[in-house]
Structures are given as C-alpha cells and as structure tokens.
Amino acid sequence: MAELKGGCLCGAVRYTAQAEQTGAIICHCTDCQKFTGATFAALVPVQKAALTVTGPVKIHSGVGGSGKPVLRNFCAECGSSLFEEPTIRQGLAIIFAGTLDDPKAVSPLREIFRDDALAWVHVTGDIPRFAKSAS
Amino acid sequence: MQLPLTGGCHCGAVRYEIAAAPILTYTCHCTDCQRITGTAFSLAIIVPESSFRLTKGEPRPVERIAGSGRVNIRLLCPDCGCWISGLGRPDPVSGQVVRRVRAGTLDDRSWLRPTAHYFTRSKQPWVTLPLGDQIFEAQPA
C-alpha cells in the first residue's frame, strides 16, 4: 500500500488515497483527450473507499472509451481534472496523476486506446500497449 | 487541417471556431499545467485573436498568478470544468494579439504536431519528445 496525496491547481480540493499499486495507465481515448484538453490521461486506479476528498468537487458524466458513462470529477473552482469513476467498474476511483503532489511517484503501467493516440506521442518504457482497452 | 477549426469543451456547452491557421503548436510541462489537466503536459495552439470566435456558451474566467508573477486568466466551461483557452493578449516578441487555445478541445486533433516544448525542467521522465523539436527548460523569453 502506498499513500498518494494530491489536489487541484487552486488548492480548494485536496485528497488522500491508499493505493495498491502506483502505476499509471496512459489512456489515449478521445474522451480523455477532450476532458484533459491535452493528448492523454495518466490514471492511477484506487478503491473509492480508500480515497478521502475535501473541498468543492463537481461531477460531469461523459462517455468513456468503453462506450459506457464515466463520472468525471473536477474542482468546482479551477476546473482541474481530479478523478473519474467508470460506471462499468463500481467502487473504483481513478486519479488523474497530474494532480498528485509528487507526480513522479508514479510511472506508466500500460498504454490503452493507442489507436486514438496522436502519432508523435511516445511513452517511454517496456510496457504493454493496447490498441483499445486492456480487457 | 481544415479551416475554420472547430472545437469545444467535453460536455458541449462551450463551442468555438478559429478562422486562421495556428501560428504555433506547443506542449507545456509546467507543474500548473500538469495539475489543471491532470496529466503530464498541456497542448496548445497559438492563434491570432481576431480569428477566434465563441459560437456557443459563456466560459467562466478563472484568475491565477503564474510562477512568473503575471496574472493568468483561464476560460473554463462552467458545466464540465474543461479549460478552453486564455484571453487574447499581445505576444511578447511580435506584439500581435494572440490567444492560446487548449488543442485537446479541438474536434479534429489528427493534424496536431507540436514543434516546441516549454518547461521541460518539470517534464515527466517517461515522456519522450520528438527529435529535432525546440526544447525550452522554462518559457522562451
């Protein structure tokens, strides 16, 4: 178990999580591109019961790469993408690794939805890479 | 790339149109960009302010003092929190009034290819930048 601490850009929202592993799933799906406004999301899954959040969080429901709804949790003040909850996997909260106080504490575990990735985006490391989802 | 470029936030409440080709596409690896996007870096296009037009919705301005001491205003979707762009302001070198738009919010992202990378001093070690691109430890002067 590793303790992960983080929060949004403006500091209004803070969280602490107990993580079973500290690998980040790099998701290139178009939904993650749009929500982050960037090229991929770096995601660390934790049990929702092991995540404590304080501060003003808003939720927006979007459709993930799976085609099923994903609840996107963001700071109501500064809009930082904090964590998401896939409705196909109840009980799971998936942290956006860029909001960790120490993002370098996590490293990529695998890449998913590589088919949607922008051609110039390269994630270093000998990790599994999937055209779609891993399952 | 087909003009006008169109894009918007994740939920569709805010939409925009850009009538001119971008001046530059770049990534920014600063820790503020990492926090707000929740990922390893942000991706932006710089466009002439006169070419940018909101076509739907009213984004919410959020102020923040950047590491440089300058006040940054970010425009967010009030519903889904998506960061759309900044405000138009003069480019420090050319003087042209430009706007930085978050490129991941474009509808067509297939043509995007950054040629400059800012604040690589805080880049995640597992991100490999394309060879031959312009690399800046911080921000270009």
pLDDT of residue A4: 96
Inter-chain residue contact A120 with B113, CB threshold 8 Å: yes
CB-closest option in A37, A99, A124 to B105? A37
- The answer to whether B122 touches B30, Cβ cutoff 8 Å, is yes
Residue A104: inside a domain, yes or no? yes
Write out chain A residues lying below 8 Å of B130, CB-based.
Answer: 120, 122
- The answer to whether B45 touches B38, Cβ cutoff 8 Å, is no
The count of domains in chain A is 1
Residue A134: inside a domain, yes or no? no
- The answer to whether B11 touches B40, Cβ cutoff 8 Å, is no
- The domain in which residue A76 lies consists of 2-113
Q: Which residues pair with A70 in a beta bridge?
A: A62, A86
Which amino acid is residue A52, in one-letter code? Answer: T
Residues of chain B under the 50 pLDDT cut: none
CA distances to A61, A108, B87, B115 from A42, rounded to whole Å, are: 19, 8, 27, 22
- The answer to whether A103 touches B124, Cβ cutoff 8 Å, is yes
pLDDT of residue A44: 97
Residue A130: inside a domain, yes or no? no
Q: Which residues of B touch A (CB under 8 A)?
A: 9-11, 32, 34-43, 62, 64, 74, 76-77, 79-84, 102-105, 109-110, 112-114, 124-128, 130
Please state, as a whole number, how many other Cβ atoms lie within 10 Å of the Cβ of residue B32.
Answer: 19
In angstroms, the first-to-last Cα distance of chain B is: 29
Please state, as a whole number, how many other Cβ atoms lie within 10 Å of the Cβ of residue B69.
Answer: 6
Q: How is domain B5-135 classified at the CATH fold level?
A: glutathione-dependent formaldehyde- activating enzyme (gfa) (3.90.1590)
pLDDT of residue B68: 76
- The answer to whether B61 touches A79, Cβ cutoff 8 Å, is no
pLDDT of residue B74: 97
Residue A135: inside a domain, yes or no? no
**Chain B within 8 Å of A72 (Cβ-Cβ)?**
yes
Give the predicted TM-score (pTM) of the model.
0.94
CATH number at residue A60: 2.170.150.70
Cis amide bond preceding B130, omega within 30: no
pLDDT of residue B93: 83
Please state, as a whole number, how many other Cβ atoms lie within 10 Å of the Cβ of residue A53.
Answer: 16
pLDDT of residue B38: 95
pLDDT of residue A127: 96
Q: Chain A closest CA to B96's CA: distance in Å?
A: 24
Distance in angstroms (rounded) separating the CA atoms of residues A107 and A3: 15
Write out chain A residues lying below 8 Å of B40, CB-based.
Answer: 38, 40, 42, 97-98, 103
Residue A74: inside a domain, yes or no? yes
pLDDT of residue A93: 97
For the record, the structure tokens of B76 come out as 């967010």
pLDDT of residue B77: 97
| Residue with the two structure tokens 């425009």 | B75
Residues of chain A under the 70 pLDDT cut: 135
Q: Tell me the domain boundaries of chain B.
A: 5-135
pLDDT of residue B66: 83
pLDDT of residue B90: 93
| Residue with the two structure tokens 């430890």 | B137
Residue A66: inside a domain, yes or no? yes
pLDDT of residue A135: 64
Going B55 to B17 to A9 to B62, the CA torsion angle's sign is negative
Strands B42-48 vs B127-128: parallel, antiparallel or unpaired:
unpaired
- Compute the residue count for chain B: 141
CB-closest option in A42, A58, A79 to B36? A79
Write out chain A residues lying below 8 Å of B11, CB-based.
Answer: 60, 62
Residue A103: inside a domain, yes or no? yes
pLDDT of residue B80: 95
Strand blocks (E) in chain B: 5-8, 15-18, 24-28, 42-48, 52-56, 60-65, 71-76, 83-85, 89-90, 97-102, 116-118, 127-128, 134-135
Contacts 24+ apart (CB under 8 A), B69-75: B74/A78, B74/A79, B74/B36
- ipTM value for the complex: 0.92
